[in-house]
Structures are given as structure tokens and as C-alpha cells.
Amino acid sequence: MQTHFHIQRVRIAGLIMLLVLSLPVSTWTADRPLNLAEAVMCEGVRDLAPLNPAAVFSIATGKVSCFSNFDTVPSQSYIYHHWYHRDKLSTKKKLFLKPPSWSTYSSIQLREADKGPWRVEITDDKGTLFATLRFSVTD
Amino acid sequence: MDLGSSFIAAIRWQDAVDILLNSYILFRLYVLFRGTNVIRVIVGIAFLWVFQRVAVAMGLIVTSWAMQGIIAGAALIIIIVFRNEIRSVLQAKNLRGLLWGFPYAAERPPLEVISESVYELARRRIGALIVLPAKDDLEDTCQGGLAWKGQLSKEMLLSIFWNGNPVHDGAVVLQGRQVQQVGTILPLSKREDLPSYYGTRHRAAVGLAEVSDALVVVVSEERGQVVVAKGGELLPIQDNLQLEEILANHGARGLHPRAESWRDKLELGTAALVSTICVLGIWFSFARGLETFTSLEIPIEYMNRSSSMEIFGASVNTINLNLSGSGALIRSLNPDQVKVKLDLSRAKVGPNSYTITREDIDLPPGINLKSVAPATVEVTLDVPVEKELPIQADWSGKLPENLILESVKLVPERVRVVGGSQILKEIDTLYTDKLPLNTLKTSGAMTTRLALQPGTLKIADGARDKVVVRFTLRERRVR
């Protein structure tokens, strides 16, 4: 019984500590704007990390991904990945972000007609541009 | 536009000169050769030529060929047979006579002098034979004779026919105010019905009157009678007034100045009109009848463009014109004479569509426009602006399987370009020329140029047109 009480006390203390520790963090992130910490083009995403970041991708790879990591996410929001092939919008991906930080990515399948220079623009829902990533799709 | 006005509009000043000049030449030929047989033969050849043209138009190959041969032969025959007439025209006339003189205008024999002389000869019983030519040429009819070319006077005639004069037996030929020839032998008439008291002199007068339109005055040596022979008839003359009247009515050589002047004017006016009509017909046949086609590729010239705008593109740079006209005009047509001008005074920024009309095309007179291709031209005008754009490397080829092109850095990263505002609105990136991946082994740098698309884009003054591409390669990690 005493042991049970002890465990109960430890749980409550842990909860209080978690609350105490988490409160300042959430308060701190809410004050800061959405911030893109990392954005790379890569061959894929594995274990929440970009795989083989590069500036040139072969069609043989099959797909290309745009990985973006936001270290500050003040609130639930959306960002967009705008994929342009030679200045022409090819696709627009809407991606969900959650506080306090979030990593997300979008991908496209590569076809023969996709050869050439590409760029991906990362913006929020208000159109604020966070980054432009440039790459080429080749043989 | 009706046919008449379009025809007049198509006539060039060269055509007018061509027609007038040749009409005048034809008219002058008539004036110089009128009264000779040359004119009749030329008229015959003209009919043959018309017949030959008709044969050509109807597709009668052998007939047209034969006519052509006959015409060529006839032209040669004219030169050979009528060489004397041609020579006399070319030699006897001075430059004024050849170009604009009228030979008959000055040839007006004085009626009173002839009349008085004839009756003085009759009174003195001196035989005389005086020929007054009309339109016919007497050179082939009369033989012998001496060129006299003396001023006509009563004394002159009396002395010529004086018995002691060696040339008194022949006939005198008067030409205008001149005694042209003396001692001339006239052809004798073979008529049987002439009165027996008429001698050789009368027979000669009738002989010439039978074969020509000349008037011959005979003075009988034995009876002192005056007789006039014309058209094969012999007419006894009662007095000098009757003679003057007959002389005045004698056709060609203007014995009656006023009547002669009126007839001459009418005849020459008709000849001038006919000459012009003939040349017009020939010109029309050559210049208009044989329509020939050609095709020209003409560059478009843009006119009246606003100084604030520039042409940033056109669907075509040249227009293909299908033209027609006479063979001579088409052969002499120089492409520089043909212009295609588009008026851009109402052009707006952006694409402008223009339909090519006849008013946009300058053609030499006599050349007709058949068709235009293309009929519509798209011209894109714009206001030139400057814009700074990021540069992106445009890789091509294939990297070795074990390598990854990890990063690329361009120097400069951005460049200023000049182009049409509408075009630059659509452009967010400038690309380099194709950069080959196949040869890359290690990290490094390369220099390349910008691939400016569309071609109307230009690097702004002072901006670099070369780009240094620094790239980093790394080994591919095992997945």
C-alpha cells in the first residue's frame, strides 16, 4: 500500500514536472514565428531524415522529394510546396504542421517528360516564401 | 474599282512614253512614205500580222508559223523592192524633214505661173508637156530625164521648151515650186480611140495619166491648143481660168492651198489616230495580253511604331506574294521594287493581329497582286523593361551511378536582363546553357553562358553574360 502510494506520488510529481517544463516551451514557441530550419531536395525520406540530398536527380531514381524541417511551429498550420518545371507550375502540395516543431515532405514521380530544371518554393498559406530549392532532372 | 480606272491606274509613265513614241514613229513613217507603194505593202503586212496573232490565239500552229515566215519574208522584200523609196526618204530629207517636217506642206505650185506659162507657150506655138504629180510615185513610171531642181517661173518653162533646148522634147515634172526634172520620157498610151491629130506628146500624156494620178498639161506645137490629161482622159482647155480651176482641183500636191491644207490636216489627223490605235493595240497585246505569274518572298517593313514600344516577336518575317503581269514587266521586276509595309501606329502592348491588304503592299505599276501568304501576321509589341532574375544551372546527361551532385553554387546568382514587360512577367528564372554531367568525376567549377529564351531577351548593360558554376560531388551512400 505504501509502495502504491509512493508510485502514485512519483506519477503526480512527474506530471507536475512535465507541466512545469512544458509550459515555458509552449509559451516560448507561441511567441516566435514559423521558422524553416532545413529544406533540401532528396531521393526520399527515411526515419524522418532526407535520403541522399542532391541538386541533380536521374529519372532512374523514380522519384524526388522536397524535405522541409520547421524548428518553430507556433500553432497548427499549413505550408505549401510549389513544384515548378521551367517556370511552369507543375503541382502544389499542401502540408500540415504541428507545434512545437515539425518535419514534412512532398514527392513527385519522375517521368521522361520531367527532364530539365525544376524549383520548389516553400510558402505558408499567406504566400510568405521560406525557401526556393533548385534542382535538375536528367537521364 | 471598275475595270477602266484599274486599267488606267496600272499604266506606268513608261507605258505612256512607249505608246506615244511608237505612235509618232508609225505616223512619221506614214508621212514620209505616203503616196508610195511602201505604205500599201506595210498595210498588207499589218493585216498578215493580225492574222498571225489570231492564228496563235486559236492554236493554229502551222498557220501561225507560216504567217510568221511570210511576214519575215515580206519585211525583207520591202527593203529590197522599195530600196529606192527608202533611200530617197533617208537621203533627200534633212533631220527636220525626217522627224517632224511635212513634205507636202511646202509644195504648192503657183497656179498663175503655170497657167500664164502654158498660155504663153501656146501663143508662141511651142510644144510642151508638163507633169504635176499627185500622190503616186512616178519614179518607176517615167524614164530618163535630167534632174533640174530649178525655181519654177514663166521664163524657166519657156526656155526649157524652146526648140533650141536639147531637153525640150521630154516632159517637165513639177514638184511644188520647183522644176524637178526635164526631158522625162513618159509611157505611151496604146489606146486606139485617140483623135488622129493628137501626136506622140498627147499619147505620152494619156499614157502617164492612165497609170498614175498625175495631171499632165499638153501644149500642141501645131495648133497651140492646151489639153489636160488626167485619169486616162483628155480634156481640151478653153482659157487660162479653166486651166487654173483644173489645176486647183488636182488632188494631191496642194494646187489649191486652202483645200489642200484642209485635206492634209484631215488625212494626217486620221493617220495620227490610226497610228495611235495600232500602237495601243500592239502594246495591249504585248503588255497586257500575255499574263505571267511569279512569286516573291518579301520581308515585312514595320512603319509608325511608337517610340516607347519595341517589336518582341512576329509570326513571320517575310510574306510570300503571288504576282501577275505581262511577261516583260515580270521579267524586269526587281524584288526591291516590292514592299510590304505594316502600319503599327495603332498597335498596342501585346500581340497584334494584322491582315495583309493590297494597301499594305507597294507594287510597280502594271504588276497585279494575286494572293498573299500568310494573309495574317501576328506582331507582338511591348515596352522594354529591366528585371533581375535568379540563374539556375541546367544539367543534362547522366552522372555515374556512384556519384551524387550534392550542391551547386552559381556566380553570379542573379543577373539583370532587358526584355518586353509582358515577356518578363512570365519569366522567373534564367537558365544556363546545357551543362554535361557525363564527364564529371570530381567536384569543381565550370564557366558557361546564359541561354536567353526567348531570343528577344538581352543582358542589361554592364551585367555579366558568363556564369561560373561551382559544384560538389560525393560518393553515394549505401541505402
The shortest CB-CB distance from A56 to any of B405, B476, B477 is to B405
Rounded Cα gap, residues B156 and B164, in angstroms: 14
Residues of chain A with pLDDT under 70: 1-31
What is the phi-psi region of residue A53: left when phi exceeds 0, alpha when psi lies from -120 to 50, beta otherwise?
beta
- Residues facing B472 on adjacent strands: B407
Interchain CB contact of B402 with A (< 8 Å):
no
The shortest CB-CB distance from A136 to any of B394, B406, B476 is to B394
- Which of A132, A136, A137 is the best substitution to test chain B (most B C-beta atoms within 10 A)? A136
Residues of chain A positioned with their CB less than 8 A from the CB of B404: 52, 54, 56
- Residues facing B175 on adjacent strands: B178
β-strands A129-138, A56-58 pairing: parallel
The amino acid present at B200, given as its one-letter code, is T
CA distance readout (Å), A74 to A28, A95, B295: 9, 15, 74
CA torsion, ordered B194, B200, B201, B203, to nearest 10 deg: 40
Rounded Cα gap, residues B175 and B150, in angstroms: 10
Residue A54 neighbours by CB under 8 Å, 6+ apart: A41, A42, A43, A135, B404, B405, B406
| Alpha carbon B232 to its chain's center | 47
CA distance A15 to chain B (A): 41
Give the pLDDT confidence score for residue B411 in this predicted structure: 92
Beta carbons of A87 and B395 less than 8 Å apart: no
Beta carbons of B404 and A54 less than 8 Å apart: yes
CA distance readout (Å), B38 to A59, B83, B137, B444: 96, 10, 10, 99
Residue of B nearest to A86 (CA): B429
Q: How many CB atoms lie within 10 A of CB B315?
A: 13
CA distance A108 to chain B (A): 19
Residues of chain A positioned with their CB less than 8 A from the CB of B428: 84, 87
Q: Is the peptide bond before A33 cis (omega within 30 degrees of 0)?
A: no
> Which burial class, exposed, middle or buried, applies to B372 when counting CB atoms under 10 A from its CB (0-12, 13-18, 19+)?
buried
The shortest CB-CB distance from A117 to any of B397, B426, B431 is to B431
Contact (CB, 8 A) for B315 and B346: no
Residue of A nearest to B434 (CA): A116
Beta carbons of B396 and A138 less than 8 Å apart: yes
Rounded Cα gap, residues B162 and B143, in angstroms: 21
Please list the pLDDT of chain B residue by residue as tens digits (479 residues): 455 565 666 677 878 888 899 999 888 888 877 766 677 777 788 888 888 888 877 878 888 888 888 888 887 877 787 777 777 666 655 666 677 766 554 455 678 888 888 988 888 888 999 998 887 778 778 888 888 888 888 888 889 888 888 888 889 988 877 888 898 998 888 888 888 888 888 889 988 888 888 889 999 888 888 999 988 788 888 888 888 888 887 754 444 445 556 777 888 888 889 888 888 887 776 665 567 889 999 999 999 988 888 888 889 999 999 998 877 778 888 889 899 999 999 888 888 999 999 999 998 877 888 999 999 999 988 888 999 999 999 999 999 888 999 999 999 999 999 988 888 888 999 999 999 999 888 999 999 999 988 888 889 988 888 999 999 999 886 55
| Mean pLDDT, chain A, integer | 84
Beta carbons of B431 and A139 less than 8 Å apart: no
CA distance A86 to chain B (A): 8
Residues of chain A positioned with their CB less than 8 A from the CB of B437: 56, 138
| Alpha carbon B339 to its chain's center | 25
Beta carbons of A55 and B405 less than 8 Å apart: yes
Query: Angle at which helices B240-249 and B111-123 pack, to 10 degrees?
Result: 140
The shortest CB-CB distance from A52 to any of B428, B437, B476 is to B476
User: Residue B408 — φ and ψ, nearest 5°?
Assistant: -135, 135
Give the pLDDT confidence score for residue A37 in this predicted structure: 94
Residue B230 neighbours by CB under 8 Å, 6+ apart: B209, B213, B214, B215, B216, B246, B250
The shortest CB-CB distance from A56 to any of B431, B437, B476 is to B437
User: Residue B296 — φ and ψ, nearest 5°?
Assistant: -130, 140
> Which burial class, exposed, middle or buried, applies to A54 when counting CB atoms under 10 A from its CB (0-12, 13-18, 19+)?
buried
How many Cα atoms within 13 Å fall on the side-chain side of residue A48?
5
Interchain CB contact of B258 with A (< 8 Å):
no
How many Cα atoms within 13 Å fall on the side-chain side of residue B395?
30
Q: Is the peptide bond before A50 cis (omega within 30 degrees of 0)?
A: no
Rounded Cα gap, residues A82 and A37, in angstroms: 18
Give the pLDDT confidence score for residue A13 in this predicted structure: 54
Residues A33-138: name the CATH superfamily.
Answer: Coagulation Factor XIII, subunit A, domain 1 (2.70.50.30)
Give the pLDDT confidence score for residue B477 in this predicted structure: 67
Residue A16 neighbours by CB under 8 Å, 6+ apart: none
Q: Which of B316, B317, B435, B294 is nearest to B369 (CA)?
A: B294
Residues of chain B positioned with their CB less than 8 A from the CB of A39: none
Interchain CB contact of B396 with A (< 8 Å):
yes
Q: Which of B323, B359, B324, B353 is nearest to B341 (CA)?
A: B359
Identify the H or E element spanning B110: none
CA torsion, ordered B137, B140, B142, B144, to nearest 10 deg: 130
Residue of A nearest to B394 (CA): A117
CA torsion, ordered B154, B159, B162, B166, to nearest 10 deg: -140
Residues of chain A positioned with their CB less than 8 A from the CB of B431: 86, 117
User: Number of CB pairs < 8 Å for A and B?
Assistant: 58
Handedness of CA B281, B284, B289, B290 (dihedral sign): positive
CA distance A98 to chain B (A): 29
The shortest CB-CB distance from B407 to any of A55, A115, A117 is to A55
Q: How many CB atoms lie within 10 A of CB B310?
A: 16
Beta carbons of A139 and B407 less than 8 Å apart: no
Residues of chain A positioned with their CB less than 8 A from the CB of B398: 58, 138-139
The residues on A that touch B, with CB distances below 8 Å, are 51-56, 58, 84, 86-87, 115-117, 119, 132, 134, 136, 138-139
DSSP state of A19: H
Q: How many CB atoms lie within 10 A of CB A18?
A: 10
Cell 513610171 locates to: B141
Beta carbons of A138 and B404 less than 8 Å apart: no
The amino acid present at B386, given as its one-letter code, is E
The shortest CB-CB distance from B429 to any of A53, A55, A87 is to A87
Interchain CB contact of B404 with A (< 8 Å):
yes
Interchain CB contact of B475 with A (< 8 Å):
no
Domains within chain B, CATH numbers bracketed: 3-102+260-288 (no CATH), 109-253 (3.40.1700.10), 290-382 (2.170.120.30), 384-475 (2.170.120.40)
Residue of A nearest to B393 (CA): A117
Beta carbons of A134 and B392 less than 8 Å apart: yes
Rounded Cα gap, residues B296 and B291, in angstroms: 16
**Which three cell numbers mark A78?**
499549413
